[in-house]
Structures are given as C-alpha cells and as structure tokens.
Structure 1
Amino acid sequence: MADGKRQSIAGKIATPKVGPSKDVIDGDSMLYKAVGARIKITCAPHNNVLEGTLFTTCNITNAIAINTAPAPPNPSAPLSSQPGDYHIIPFAHILSFELIGPGERVPESGPGFDGALPSISKVDLDAIKAREEQTIREMKKKDAQKGKGVTKEAQEIFDAISRTLPTRWADTQIVVNDAVLISPPYTLESAKASAGREQSLAQVRKIMENYHLRKKAVGTTRAPVATPIAPRKGG
C-alpha cells in the first residue's frame, strides 16, 4: 500500500530537469523547495541514480547533500530518527531529479530550509573563516619549527630547547629567546650570546648538555652484539 501511495505521489509531480550548465539554485528553484523531501537524482557522468532525503542545497559550495539511508519502515516515524548515509553532489553533476515523496516538515511551514526536519541551521561563515585562519597559523608555526637542510641531531637539539624556551630557526642557526645563537655543528662551544646575556647562555648550554648526556646514556644501554668465536683447531 505504501508503494502504491508513493507511486501515486510520483505520478502527480513532474520531473524537473537541471542541466550541467546550471550553476546556481536559488530560493525559487524546485530543488530548494524540495529540502526535506524524498527525491531521486540522476547524476553525471555515469547516469548514477541516488534516492533519498534531500538534506540541503548550498549556493556557496554549489552542491546538494542527500541522505540515501532508507526511510523508517513505520511511516509515522520521524525522518530525523533514520540513520545517515550522506552524499555531496555538485549542481553541475545533476542531470535530472524526481520528487517521490513530500518528506516530513514543520506543520504549516513554507518550502525551503525553515520547514525542514530535522532542522537545518545557518552556517556561521565568520566562524569557519576564523577556524581556517587559525589552522593556517598553526601549520605555519609548526613548519617554522622544522629546520631546513639540518641534521637529525640539530633538529633534536632544537626540539629539546624549544620545550623550555622560545626557539626559532634562522637558516641553519638556532636562535633561543632572541639572545643565544647556536651555529653548526651545534656543540656547547657553538652556543654564543652577546654581553649581558650570560644567564640565558648558561641555561641553553645546560639543556644542550642534558641532551647529550641522555643520548650517550641511551647508547650505552643498548645490548652488546655477540661476537662469534672461531672454533679451536685440534679439538
């Protein structure tokens, strides 16, 4: 009976065509008005057919999101309770779509986002842009912590100092607290500081000394390699 009702709905609704050249779907378009409804979409380039609930249409990304999870077996169950299996489809890939069911909407609501269930909130573009900028800053900061053209040991010394003090790279030199300069080969004697910054220099050298001591200790605790003994001649 449910199938017969759905076929009846589909038979009464025309199948609008959306060509690949259509870049914008505005508030008067059929797809916009179908948000929250069950639709069937044919997509380029292989004429793939997807059937599900139209979750949203977006003029910023020029795409729609459709939830292809099956509708609840109980017709009275809200669509918001069904599992999600979402697909993002660019407008340009939509060859045609068919409205096959009205879906669940807020009573006495108009078409579009406002009456859709589950409800769809507006995207805070300012917050997204702020997150993007913060991510870029963190990536640049992380990249700046990696030396270019330096040895593994040099990077390890840099990492050891940066855990305690502000540290940055200046080409292949390590700059600590804008007071101490460590040049290759990154030994204790390679660390220099201007007059009046002796305390900072001592602190940096202490960190470097602890690094070399730990590295030496790790080397000495490794299991010795057994040396094979040649058999004695004559038994």
Structure 2
Amino acid sequence: CSLDGMEKVFPSDLSGGQQQRIALARAIVVNPKVMLLDEPLSNLDPQLRETMRFEIKKLQKEFGFTIIFVTHDQSEAMALSDRMLVMDMGNIQQIGTPLELYNNPKNRFVHSFLGQSNFTHVKIKGGKAYCQGDSSRVVWDAPSGTKDGEMLMATRPNTIDINRSEGFCTKIIKRVFRTDFVEYLVQVGDDVLRVQTPHRNLFSEGEECFLRFPSPMWYPAQEEGADEERAKRMIV
C-alpha cells in the first residue's frame, strides 16, 4: 500500500490518502470475497483521488476479491468498474459494462448521468426531426420507423461536428477555451447546445456555423413530473 517506513506512525497522524490505504489494508487482511466501499474517495483532493483509484484497482486484481463501489462520481465509476449499475430514485435503470452504458444508455437519465449531454426537443414529421421553436428547418433524420410526435435527441458535446458548410445552420453564442478543447454554446431552436472541438477548429462569437450529428440517440419526451419528483427527493 506504499506505506514503507510508516510502521511506527499512528493512523491519525497520517495524511488522508495514507489513512485510506490503512483502511483498505484492514479490510483486505481478512481476505474477503466481497468488499463494500461507500464513496471512499469523497474527502480526498483530486490528485489523491486519482492515486487511490489506481491503488484500489491494482489491489482488486492482485487479490481477486469483488468490490461493490458506491459513488456519485461518474469518472470514478468509469475508471474502476468492470460492470456498472445506475440507479435513479431507488430504481435500477441499467446494468452493463462502462462502455455499454456510455455508448448505449437506455434512457435520458442514464445518458445525462454518464458523461456530458445535450438534449434537443424535437418534433418528428415524416421521418425528419424539426427542433422545437423552429419548425421550418430539419435538424436531422429520425431513426427509421419512428412515429410522428415529440422526442428528445440526445448528443454528446464532443461528438457533434461543427463546420462552415454542411448541416444545421446556426451561430456561435459563446466560446470558452478549455485545456484540451474549445467549447461553444450554440442555439438550436429553443435549446442551447454545448459543442466541444479541438483548438484548431476555431470560430468567433457571433459567427455562423453548421452542425452535424453523426450519432444521436433518441428518447421519448421526458415523463411529466419526473424532474420535480427527483428534485423533491434530493431536498429531503
């Protein structure tokens, strides 16, 4: 557990990360078949969290026990899990590998919980999707066999193709430089979407742009009252 030379130091005198290692060692020494870790990294700073993620994964592989890891941090879940379970209001929404849940979330909640999400309110007519608030222009083709009516088109900010010639025409509302990408806010009907793209693909605020959605996912319009019920439970 990387605690060489600390044999005579009391756990209370160790750093947060070292205390977490002590707690793990105490649990592992009894050779458990299953170990429950309930948000074990929540009180650590980002650097220690990253270190402990690798430590926990390494120990699990080395000793071969099963870990049930409870967390609200999606990056922890994605980094540590062989299989994930996503719950909402006490109900299981989806079980699968991190890749399955991220690439094929079964509903809006799972999509929004794992990774960043855009949800565009659209109306389907004759196999075409028109954004809410602008019924004159097609946003994208609806999936084959989709019935006419209201739906949500879900996209990841880093999968949207932003260019200067092809797709849905709009304008840049805001540009924000991030460490690894540039993030744009763009208007699509009544919704504002986030688009993340490499630094080399630069647009100015107010500049015209075009959006293409190579891999959208489609969900029914949100059930009435679900967001309100979720917010109520969080307050309680």
Q: TM-score range by the shorter chain?
A: under 0.3
> Relative to total residues, which structure has the larger helix share, 1 or 2?
1
Under a length normalisation based on structure 2, what TM-score does the superposition of the two structures give? 0.22
Q: Which has the higher strand share?
A: 2
TM (norm. structure 1) is 0.22
